[in-house]
Structures are given as structure tokens and as C-alpha cells.
Structure 1
Amino acid sequence: MRRSLPLLSLCLAVPALVAAPPKAQPHGLDLAGMDRSVAPGDDFFTYANGAWVKHTEIPADRGSYGIGREVADLTDRRTAALIKSAAASKAPAGSELRKIGDFYTSFMAEKAIDRKGIRPLQPTFKAIGAIQDRKALAHYLGTTLRADVDVLNATQYHTANFLGLWVAQDLDQPDRYAPFLLQGGLGLPERSYYLDPSEGMAAVRTQYTTHVAAMLKLAGLSNVLTRATAVVDLETRMAKAHLGREESGDIQKGNNHWAQADFPAKAPGLDWNSFFTAADLSKQAVFVVWQPGAVTGLSALAAEVPLDVWRDYLTFHAIQHWAPVLPKAVADQSFAFYGKVLSGASQPLDRWKTGVALTNQALGEAVGKAYVAKYFPPSEKARAERMVSNIKAAFRIRIEHLDWMSPATKAKAVAKLDALKVGVGYPDRWRDYRSLKVVAGDAFGNLQRAERFDYERNLKKLGHPIDRTEWVMNPQLVNAVNLPVMNALNFPAAILQPPYFDPKRPMVMDFGAIGAVIGHEISHSFDDSGSLFDATGKLENWWTPEDLKHFQASANQLVKQFDAYEPFPGLHIKGKQTLGENIADVAGLAAAYDAYRLSLGGKEAPVVQGLTGDQQFFLSYAQSWREKTREPLLRQQILTDGHAPASFRPYTVRNLDAWYPAFQVKPGQKLYLAPADRVRIW
């Protein structure tokens, strides 16, 4: 997944963590999956999911597994069938269907890829070998600038670029796009993997060095262990320059506008003229430098580190970057570290699953167009839009009735809510892939051209009006997103299906599952990051000092609440790092609860499966976060992710008054909070 600015807030840390009910009860709560021996007031996650956790095994090709993973797998199987159908359709050359089919079948031709060996990389290796001075180094690094920085597929592959580019709405001038430069270059998930002195992290670094050496050997180099050690040392120096996850989330500190002419003085070492020329950004006057200290530190390394170390570093990252479309030996070695060591999986994904993922990455909206035509009828789009309207209305009422917020701030908050652009199912305008060239039998070239196509598509935004209808997610993705700077939401079609959204079960359960997701995404516009932007997306303080002080006090209360959770002895959840998601969980669940109650017009929901309406609502929410995660991946998530682990997110219920009588939660139980200690931000 993309590690982006806090300008893009995903509702889920990994795909599809919402629970699907068992096949015997496809349209209700999974009562058999509960553990009623546990008091809900002591551990609501285990109460709702304990039996399921006990009897569920994580598949060998996964670092984690939730029942909701079945939803994503079902979506992938459906998508694979659509892609295969496109391949068999003999669609006209150059058509989207032909491109989809040729891209996928080229990747699936594993024997043909093996026969080519690493020959497709030879032009890259030749370019790296030609780096004989610092200007040439800067030029090559500029050619690697992409719209992603450090991208980690949690089971198999990893990509790291020296710097990353994110083209988004300017924070100071919301009527224009700006290029954001982000720190990059690390092969491990985050700076602490290099700097943490613990025995466990030291072991990971040793295994990483072994992996780098193995990849360099596959690239045809000799003396690989010595070279790998130098590469890891370079990355360690990069890590020391990097900002941590929490610091990188500070929008006020990240909004640094540098003129292109400022770079040589502010970040000496890298030949910036050569870098920007190679990146096709030589005419761009101003950049937003999100982590200025890191850019300065990385630039200095470009001048200080020997060129032979840089060439080895670039060789390693080149073969690592293209591992999916290189021979099986390369892909297997990539999995041996990123899958086994970092995620705990014991076998790689089936090839077709990776093929679907890469096709979605390259031609996502073209595939999405076919997906929604078959699996997302207009009736479900309309039903989802009604639920969004209901929850927005409930959120508006919550704002209007806040006893701590001044009328002036309330008016600004309501204006922002009214201006919120909500996309349901799929974008209003589909992406144009006519300029993307796909060649049958050229898996490597197809992926290379698709990556370049996406980069150029982002560059073309610069100098043009803001398009608030643009989506950052494919319709066939089981997830949702808030774009605070765009004041917009995306709810892809794939998340709007059972068990998230099911017309055959009681409505209250939908409110507890997809309703909480919708409320969560709306709430992101008012979390610790989203609340910094006005209705137009401008970074501007629209709070009175008193209101802001109250908001920050409530946020700090939530930070302390999550800081106290301890998944492993001595390793606590980072309350500040996960604050935005935790605020959205609290506010979103509260808004979904209000919307469910308002929908009943003052009546009580019918008892279903022996459960009251409130019990159905809260259990639907808790079962929506069912997940088991292997220890290596869970530790990685705690260190790097802006989301709390899935098994702790159901504890959000302890901040809602209605949860207590619904499950007879009493003082003395572990999750009990006195009314004054319950967080009520929105």
C-alpha cells in the first residue's frame, strides 16, 4: 500500500478486515464465532470473535487473515474471471479489454518470463554502470522519481525510491495542484528497523543484509556480502535522516514550499538541476517539501557516499523493484525476506492473485468499469447513497448540538460537511488509457510502461484546475478513503457488498458495519488532520482558540487511551501515531449509531437472533474487525501504521454511552470508563 501524506486517510490498514458471517448464516451475526465466557466489558473483541479466532488458521500465503479477507478474495476471483474473459474475447487491438487481457496473460506466462532471465534489466544495469560522477548519479535518481515512495506488499514485494512524488491540491492555494516531495530510499519498512538496538531488530537487519546479497548475486555481481553490507550501511544513514511516522504526520511541519532555485542551498549535495531535468520537472517553480530535514540529509549522502556503493544500492533496488516480472528465482528470493521474515507467511501468493493485483495497478479503472457493470447494480449504488446521506445528516446534528463549540466554529464545520464530495461505487469520469501501450508477451515492458504512464498522468495535473471528481481507489478494491485536502470521499463498489452492506439482513447490522465505515470516512474531515482544512481544502485555522483547546484536550485523552494498550510486553500502540484513525472510529461509530436510531423514528429495532437492536449494532461493529495477524507483521504494523491493530479497534465502543446498558458493563471491568473519561470529540 502507498505510504502517503496525511492528505489521504484509508479506513482500513489492510484490505478487507470486516467480518463475513459463516456460510450457515450468510445474512446475520456469527453467534457461533463469539466467546460468551468472556465478559463484553472486559474484552469486547474476544466476546464478539473469540471462538472464531480460536478455530481460524491464517493461510500460509498471508501475514494476516480476517473473515473479511474472504470478501477481498471473492472480489479478486470475480476480477480474475473478468480479466480472463477480456483475454479470451479477441477484443480489437488497442481497446481497453485487449490491454487488460494482454497485460494479465503476459504476466501469467511464467515460463516465457523465466526464459528471458534478467535480460530485460540489462538497459537499467547499463545505465547504473554508466554513473561515473555525481551529476550522472543525480540524473539517474531523477529517472526513478515516481508517484509512490516506499511501497510494501506485505506478503512478497517491495519498492523503494530515493524520493517520491505526490501531486495533490496545494495546501495554501487550493485552486492549484502542487508537487509534494517525500522521503524515500529504504528497503525496510521504517527507520526504526535500522536504528532500534533490540535483539529482534538486529536479527531482521542481519536477514535483510543476506537478502540484499542474494539479490545482488542474482543480478550477476560478485563479492556480494561485502557489497550488501555497504548498501545496508547506506540505508542506515538514510534512516537517520528520515522523520519518524509520527513526525511525518504533522501537516503544519510538512507544508514547506521551496522554490526550485532554493534546493542547492537548502539541500546541498545532490545536483538538483540534473535531478529535476531527468524527472521532467525542470519547469516546475515551486515544490512542497514534506520532510525537509530528510531531503537535506539524503541530498548530502548523494555527495558523500562512494559512487560504487550507490551503484550497488541502485542495482539491488532495480532488481527488487521489478521482481514480480523477473524469473521465479528472483520472485522467490523477494518473498523469502518480505514474505517470510517481515510478514511470517510460509508460501507466496498464487500467481494469479499477483497478476490480478498488477493488472489492477496498471489498468485499475478499466477493470473497474467491467466490475461495476456486472457486480454493482444501480439499486445498490442508490441504497449506499441514501445511507451516506443519513449519516451525514446525523453528523450534522451532532455538530449543531455540541455544547462546547462556538456558533462561529459550528458554522464553519457545517459548511465543510455540506461541501463534502462523496463518491459512491465508482468515479463520475473514467480514466483514459488510450496512451498506455500494452504488448502481448512483454510482462516486464508492460509493467514498466504502466508505471511511467501513471507518473506522467500525475505530472499532467500540474498547471491544470483541480479535479475533485478524481478517485484514488479502484472500484474493485475493498476499502474506502478520505481525501482531507480535497474534502472528498471514495467508497469503492467492492466494499459495498455483503457482509459490509447486505440488503438481506436487518438494517441495524448494516449501520454497525458499513455505516461505521461511512461515518469513519466522513469523520476524517474533522480528525486531527482533517480539522486543519477548511471547506475548500485550504490549510487554515477555522477554530476559535477555546474550541481548538477543547478539541485538542479530547484528542489527548484518546491518545492516552490507546497508549495504554499493549499488544506485546513492552510494545504499546502509539496513540499519537494512530490518533487520526482513532478519532474517526469514535466519531464515525457515534454518527452511525445516531443515524440508526434516527432511522427508526423513535421505535426500537426488532429483536433478531436473540439480540436487541443496540446489541446487533455494536456486535456488527466488533465482528467487522475480525482479524488474526502473525507476530512479525503485527509488530511492523504497530511501528509503521497509522491504524491501531484490528483487534483493538472494537474497544472504540467504550466511548459510547449506549454500549454500557446494551451489555451491562459495570465499573471494575477492564473496558469500563467513567462518563467523564469517555472521549466525545464530535
Structure 2
Amino acid sequence: MRLSRKLCVAGAGLSLLAACASPKGSASDEAPELGVEVVSEAGAEVTGKPRFGSFGFDAEGMGAGVAPGDDFYAYASGAWQESTEIPADRSRYGVFDMLSLEAEEKVNQIIVAAARAGGEPGSNTRLIGELYASWMDAESIEARGLKPLAPYLSRIQALGSHAEVASLMAELPYQHLVRMRIMPDPANPSVYAVSVGQSGLGLPNRDYYLDTSERFEQYRQAYVAYIATVFELAGFDDGESRAQAILELETAIARAHWTRERSRQVEETYNVLTLEAFNALAPQLLLARGLEIRGLGGVDKVIVSQPSALEGIGQAFEGASLDRLKDYLIFHFISDRASWLPQAFDQASFEFYSQTLRGTQEQRPRDRRGTELVGWALGHAVGQEYVAQHFSPASKAQMDALVAHLIEGFRGRLQTLEWMDDATRAQALEKLSSFEPRIGYPEKWDSYEGLQLQADDYFGNRMRLSEHRWARELERFEEGVDRERWSWPPQIVNASYNPLMNQITFPAGILQAPFFDPHADPAMNYGAIGAVIGHEIGHGFDDQGRRFDAQGHIRDWWTPQTNAAFEEASGRLAEQYSSFCPIDDLCVNGRLSMGENIGDLGGMQMAYAAWRTFVKETYPEGEAPVIDGFTGDQRFFLAWAQVWRSLYRDDALRAQLVNGPHSPGMYRVNGVVRNLDAWYEAFDVTEDHALYLPPEERVRIW
């Protein structure tokens, strides 16, 4: 079950987890040239120059001649869209990517400084330097060749039965057909449980195997060619026939997989099985034995996300020959570690996974890839220094106050929602009161005690990192759930809601312009980071987050009447988004993206309510001043549009539509504003405009 809701998905692999830049300026900077005075949420006057434009918005990026009611995204960002190019080493580019790329400079400086400093053995400084040095030593990686693979491939080749294959798959380094992880138990989130779900595919998801359209057929052909190349580079003969056999096996596995839409349904994916029932799902895979091998032999129950998928995967495993299973393991062991190996393997992996599947033109420079690697693998070690250098206490204080204001704004909306009955309302208000905001960085940092790295052994370092991480998971499994722990490093550009902890988390990385700018006009912060805060709060009440109560227990606390009203409104929202088709043969999946779309719409509704309260309390005239010809409400909506500026390569856009769960940036703008009455009033939108929806067709949830 997927129980962490994220604001954005920017790409694949480590690029999702890149670090981010800090806000420009501080309270001591010179006043803005136009003399804009900003009243902070904490009540103090903040002076300084906004990063973008005169009040926090890049007006030069607006589209000339575009009516806001016809295409609000193009109105706010048309010139930016036309003048901006996607960097050759990226599959998409937008505000999230811009901030991540900027931050690489800062994070790289931290890493390089650590490498120069050395530090005591086992210290964070030493670990950072050793991991980075081992990655940058491409000559040593090349010189070692395939030697690091030898003991692992020998074990695979020596397998003599399906039972031996199933046992080896359960060991940490090898590809398994099921995913095992440790997570808080939704029935009692104060303790950990074992969760098991479908896995085993080399392509992104089942659609890449089963979609019969021309482009997906091309993906499969390219995948076969890539598999054959991996075998050839590793010194195996007959790579093409091995590749075809692996594709056939994975296609059988894909047929058993649940769809993405079904896999996000909490009520379907929470299945508690005894150890005996779990093992009986797929006896061919020796699932109970696999738990023992992973160090989890003492459990008496397992949470299974997709029971029927495991049954089908077991049948596909049983139907495959021993040689086919061994080839499958060999290919995935090598492919999963292609960047750890000589350049030919790394290049082949890039050409398929990045160029073919996502349209990326060039491989990223090695030092930038190393920055991403270290910034995630040792994220808290890097994050401590990042926060010390680039996240101010003043920003944290302003965010604390803004989050509190958004929560109070949502409380007011909950108290007056016509479609929610009093019984459900009481529990919704209790849940809202239990929300725990986490701003900037953790109070408790992850420890890397016991981790041993070597500056001249990158392959070994990656193996040891994986082993250390799993060992820490097993240690936590024996303890109670630590609510203070952050699974993310603070420098990433993202935000999240965790329904099991009822926590909303805003790392330092996202708390920078244009999301959050302490020197921008308040309307900009309400329309940008304010709506992001509302988005994450909204996840606690979206189509899946609402399945959890104030304490994070999975429980249906909605009355049938209120549930029916919610289902009707969310269904209409899904229909709206399913009509957006950026590619001729592929549209947004309104059901798959429903949670994020509800988050966006609800976030904007909450943020606008809070913004209007702020206006009444702050401006004597009862209305925000006009700045550069834009009213306060117009600036609020422009702020939301600005943060979703984004460009996609065709294959990357196709991947986002298929994989979900987020709608492309242009629909995160146009799909939301057309449902908000205040937007129509702010920009004089009438029934003559393309985005116009009659009032009765506008979806109002939160």
C-alpha cells in the first residue's frame, strides 16, 4: 500500500531526489527598488527585493495576447514556455527542476568541501568524501571491469532448482518478484508491520507490456535490444533469445499486476494475512522462507497489497524454465547496477531508460550525478550542513505561522460545508486538530554509525550502503515507530502528507522562491506555498487519505450520506481531468490522478480563504493594493500558475500520463482555476471563454 502522498514527481531515479536552493536575500537586504512593503505572517514588516519581478512574479514570462479565461496557464507562462529550452540532460524542466539544479551548486560545494576536509573515520564528513571520491574515480571502476559481479553471478549460475531461485531472490542484492518493506501498521501506527506487494518488472509498469499502441511496441523492442546488449557486454552469448525469453516472463508477470488505479485504493490494498495464508498465496515463491532470509522470520502477520497479483506472479514463476529464471536474475542484477560498472554498461542503461523511455538527450556530467547520489544516499549527513548554511530561522518562523493560518482557514471551511453532515464534520475537525506540521528539517537526524565506505571501492560502497540501510530498518522494526524520523533529506524540493502519522512535511528545499519568498507580496506566498500547504492538508481528506482517522488508524469514519456526496463531487472532477489529452492517443487518467487533483483544488480553496482573511485583517481599505496593474486576487492566482511552469519531452509526458499520479503542470493550473468562483471574478471570465464552466458544473469539495 502506498501511504505517503507527495506534491510532485519530477522524473525518474535519483533526479527526483536532487537537492535544492535556498531563498535569496535576508531581512537585512536592501529594500526593493519599487518600495514594496511586505507584512510577514509573524506580524513583522519584512523588507527586501523579491527574487522575481517587483512583487514575486515573473511578468516577462506571461503570454502575449492570451485571454486568461481561454488558457490561464498560457496567459501566465506563455512567453516562458516559448523561450525556455529543456536542458539536454533532462527529460522535463520546470520550477521544481530549476530549484533543484540551482541547489546542486550549493550541495556540491558541501560535498567537495567534505572530500577535502577528510574528517575522522566514520564521521559524516568522512563518509560524504569517501562516497563521492569512489564515484568520481571512474578509472578504478573501469579497471575493475566485471570482477565485482563475479561472486554474485556465480551464485545465480549455480542454482539448481526453482526452490533455490526463490530463496536467492529473497536475499537483499537480488531482484525479487515481490516487494518487501517495513512500515507503520495502519491498524496501529505506533508499531511496525511487514508490507508485501507486486514487483518484478524492468519496465515502468504493466502498461508498458500490455499497451498495443505503436509507441509502446517500440518501447518493448528497445527493451529487448537493451537486455541483449547487457548480456553481450557481460560476455554471454545468444543475448537476443535470452532477451525475448525475459520479456515473455515479465509480460506474464505484468498481466498479474494490478493497475495503478486499483493499487492506490486503500480499502483494496490493506489485506492482513497470517503467515500461513501469506505463504499459500504463492507457494512457488517460498514467501515465508523469504521473510526469514530477510531477517523477518518472527512475524505472525503480513500486510499484502495485491493478493491476486502475488498468486499470478507465483504461477508465472512456476511456468518459467530454470534457465529463463537464471537469465532473468543475471540481467536484473547487472542492469540494476549499470552505473556501478564500466562506462559501456552505464551508457547502455542511459540510452534505454533515459533516452528511449523519457527522451533525455545527454547523460548528466559525472560530478552532477555524484552530487545527486551523495545528496540522497547520505541525505541527512549532507542535510545538516545544508540547513546550517541555507535555511534561516526567520523563514521557519514565517512558515510556522502560515501553516497555522491555513489550518485555521480550513477549520472554518469544514464548519460550514453544506455537503458534510455533523457526525462526519466532528471527526474531520478532530483529525484537522491532530495535524502535525514539520517545517524545514528534522529535530532528529539519521545516524550512519557502523557504515564503512572506501574511497576506491564504489561497487562495494553501494552494496554496504544497501546492507546498512536494511539493517537500520530491521533495528527500527523491533522498536516503536519514531514520529520524529524524516525519510527525506531536508534539501529536496518536495512536500508530503503521511496519513499514518497525520503529518504534513515541508522540507527546506521547497521553502524558497517562487514557492516561498519572504520578500514577495503576501498574495504570492498565499497562492504558491499557501496552496501547497493546503494541498498537503487536503491529502488528509482526499479519496484515500480520508480512510484514516485522527490517530492514523485505517477506519471508515464517514457516514453513508457524506460519503455519497464526496464520491459524486470527486467523480465529476475525475471526468473533467480525463478530458485533458496532451497527446493524441493518451489523456490524463482522472481516476489515477484523483488524489493529487483533489489536493490541488482543495489546496487552492483553503489558501484563497486564508488569503481573504489575511486581506481583511491587514489592509484598512478591506482590499489589497493594486501592484503593477494586478489586483491582490489576480496576484494570488498568478502565483499558483507560476510554480507549475513546466516543459516535457514527448516520451517523458507520455510516461507521466501512464505512471501518474500527477497531472501535467498545465492542467494543475487550468484544471483547478476553472472550478474556483473567485478566479472568474478576478479575471472577468465569462461563458465566451474556453475554460468557462457554468456554476453548477464547478466542483466544490473543500
Alignment TM-score, normalising by the size of structure 1: 0.95
CA offsets per residue over residues 282-326 of structure 1, 9 Å max, x none? 222111110111111112223221111111111111111111221
Verify: 1:447 aligned to 2:462, yes or no: yes
- Structure 2 equivalent of residue 155 of structure 1: none
Which amino acid counterpart does residue 515 of structure 2 have in structure 1? Y
Equivalent-residue separation in structure 2 for 1:180 and 1:456 (angstroms) = 17
- Which residue number in structure 1 is paired with residue 31 of structure 2? none
Query: Is the contact between residue 18 and residue 625 of structure 1 (CA under 8 Å) also seen in structure 2?
Result: no
- CA spacing shift, 1:144–1:567, aligned 2, 3 Å: same
Q: Tell me how far 1:455 sits from its aligned partner.
A: 1.9
Q: Which amino acid aligns with 1:314?
A: L
The corresponding residue for 1:194 is 209
Deviation at 1:510, TM superposition (A): 1.0
Could you list the per-position Cα deviations for residues 404-454 of structure 1 after superposition, in whole angstroms to 9, with x for gaps in the alignment? 212221111111111112111111211111022212211111111111222
Of stretches 522-531 and 132-141 in structure 1, the one that deviates more from structure 2 is 132-141
> Given residue 29 of structure 1, which amino acid in structure 2 is its aligned partner?
F
SS in 2 for 1:201: helix
Q: Which moved more, 1:137-146 or 1:124-133?
A: 137-146
What is the identity, as a one-letter code, of the residue corresponding to 1:230? A
Counterpart in the other structure of 1:299 = 314
Aligned to 1:624: 643
Aligned equivalent of 1:531: 546
Residues 506-515 or 278-287, more deviating: 278-287
Residue matched to 1:135: 163
CA shift in 2, pair 1:379/1:24, >3 Å: closer
Worse overlay, 127-136 or 533-542: 127-136
Cα deviation, residue 390, structure 1: 0.8
1:576 match: 591
1:664: which partner in 2? 684
Is the deviation greater in 497-506 or in 209-218? 497-506
Aligned-partner SS, 1:221: coil
Structure 1 distance, partners of 2:283, 2:178, is 15
Kindly indicate whether residue 102 of structure 2 is the aligned counterpart of residue 74 of structure 1: yes
Offset at 1:18? Answer: 12
Q: Which 5+ residue runs of structure 1 have no aligned equivalent?
A: 147-159
State whether residues 260 and 287 of structure 1, in contact with CA within 8 Å, keep that contact through their aligned partners in structure 2: yes
1:422 matches 2:437: yes
Change (3 A) 1:205 1:26: farther
Paired with 1:605 and 1:399, the residues of 2 have a C-alpha distance of: 26
Q: Distance in 2 between matches of 1:549 and 1:498?
A: 40
Alignment of 1:149-188 (within 5 A): 161-188=176-203
Q: Give me the whole-angstrom Cα distance separating, in 1, the residues matched to 2:96 and 2:164.
A: 48
Partner of 1:94: 122
Contact 2:122 2:450 in 1 (8 A): no
User: Following the alignment from structure 2 to structure 1, what is the Cα–Cα distance between the partners of residues 374 and 516?
Assistant: 26
Corresponding residue to 1:274 among 277, 289, 307: 289
**Amino acid in structure 2 at the alignment position of 1:621:** W
Q: Distance in 2 between matches of 1:585 and 1:40?
A: 19
> Displacement, 1:67?
3.7
Aligned counterpart, 1:637: 656
Distance in 2 between residues matched to 1:172 and 1:89, nearest whole Å: 47
Aligned to 1:461, what secondary structure does the other structure show? helix
Deviation at 1:273, TM superposition (A): 4.0
2:637 corresponds to which letter in structure 1? F
Flag the 1:397–1:24 CA change in 2: closer, same or farther, 3 A: closer
1:103 offset after TM fit, Å? 0.7
The separation in 1 between residues aligned to 2:537 and 2:51, in whole angstroms, is: 32
Tell me how far apart the structure 2 counterparts of residues 207 and 497 of structure 1 sit (CA, whole Å): 40
SS of residue matched to 1:380: helix
Structure 2 counterpart of 1:378:
393
Counterpart of 1:611 in structure 2 is: 630
* In structure 2, C-alpha distance between the alignment counterparts of 1:649 and 1:422, rounded to whole Å: 24
Query: 2 CA distance for matches of 1:84 and 1:9?
Result: 33
Q: Counterpart of 1:649 in 2: which secondary structure?
A: helix
2:81 corresponds to which residue? 53
Task: Quote the RMSD (CA, aligned, Å).
Answer: 1.9
**8 Å contact from structure 1 (residues 438, 446) kept in 2:** yes
Any conservation in 2 of the 1:362–1:451 contact (CA below 8 Å)? Answer: no
After TM superposition, give the deviation of residue 487 of structure 1 in Å. 0.9
Q: Which residue of structure 1 lines up, in the alignment, with residue 674 of structure 2? A: 654
Instruction: Judge conservation of contact 1:33–1:49 (CA < 8 Å) in 2.
Output: yes
Using the TM superposition, name which of 11-20 and 31-40 deviates more. 11-20
Measured in 2, the distance between the counterparts of 1:639 and 1:666 equals 34
Residue type at the aligned position of 2:334 = I
For 1:571-611, what per-residue CA distance to the aligned partner results, in whole angstroms no more than 9, with x for missing partners?
21110000000001011111111111111225212222221
CA distance in 2, matches of 1:222, 1:296: 33
Deviates more, 1:272-281 or 1:583-592: 272-281
Matched residue type, 1:316: F
1:120 matched to which residue of 2?
148
Cα distance 1:332–1:291, how it changes in 2: closer, same or farther (>3 A)? same
1:480 aligned partner:
495
Residue by residue over 1:232-268, the C-alpha shift from the partner in whole angstroms, topping out at 9 and shown as x without a partner, is: 1111111011011001011111011112222342223
For 1:93, the aligned partner's letter is: P
Query: 1:152: which partner in 2?
Result: none
Superposition pairs of residues 482-631 of structure 1, within 5 angstroms: 482-601=497-616, 603-631=622-650
Q: Find the residue that maps to 2:581 and give its secondary structure.
A: coil
Equivalent residue, structure 1, for 2:341: 326
Distance 1:50 1:80 in 2: 33
Q: SS where residue 477 of structure 1 aligns?
A: coil
Tell me how far 1:26 sits from its aligned partner.
7.8
- Find the residue that maps to 1:658 and give its secondary structure: helix
**Displacement after TM superposition at 1:223 (Å):** 0.7
Partner of 1:149: none
Deviation at residue 24 of structure 1 after TM alignment: 7.4
Check 1:647–1:24 CA distance in 2 against 1; reply closer, same or farther (3 A cut).
Answer: closer
Distance 1:466 1:498 in 2: 34
SS of the equivalent of 1:141 reads: helix
Match of 1:11 in 2: 7
Q: Quick one: distance in 2 between partners of 1:463 and 1:547? A: 40
- Write out aligned runs for 1:456-471 (5 A): 456-471=471-486
The one-letter amino acid paired with 1:625 is W
Is the 2:186–2:500 Cα contact (8 Å) retained in structure 1? yes
- TM-score normalised by structure 2 residue count: 0.92
CA distance in structure 2 between the partners assigned to 1:202 and 1:658 by the alignment: 46
Q: Which runs of 4+ in 1 moved over 6 A?
A: 16-24
Q: Paired residue for 2:34?
A: none
Give the equivalent residue in structure 2 for 1:260: 275
**What's the counterpart of residue 309 of structure 1?**
324
3-state SS of paired residue (1:411): helix
C-alpha deviation, 1:496, in angstroms: 0.6
Are the equivalent residues in 1 in contact too, given 2:357–2:655 (CA < 8 A)? yes
Letter aligned with residue 638 of structure 1 = L
Q: 2: distance between equivalents of 1:340 and 1:591?
A: 40
In the alignment, the residues of structure 1 paired with residue 625 and residue 176 of structure 2 have an alpha-carbon distance, to the nearest angstrom, of 55
> Which residue identity is paired with 2:328?
Y
CA–CA distance in structure 1, aligned partners of residues 631 and 667 of structure 2: 24
What is the correspondence of 1:346-361 to structure 2 with a 5 Å cutoff? 346-361=361-376
Residue number among 221, 227, 239 corresponding to 1:212 in the alignment: 227
**Counterparts of 1:355 and 1:282, CA distance in 2:** 37
**Paired residue for 1:221?**
236
What CA deviation, in whole Å up to 9, does each residue of 1:336-393 have, x standing for no partner? 1011101101111111222122212321111111110110111111111111111111
For residue 624 of structure 2, what is the amino acid of its counterpart?
A
Tell which deviates more after alignment, 7-16 or 19-28.
19-28
Q: How does 1:240-255 map to 2 (within 5 A)?
A: 240-255=255-270
Partner of 1:400: 415
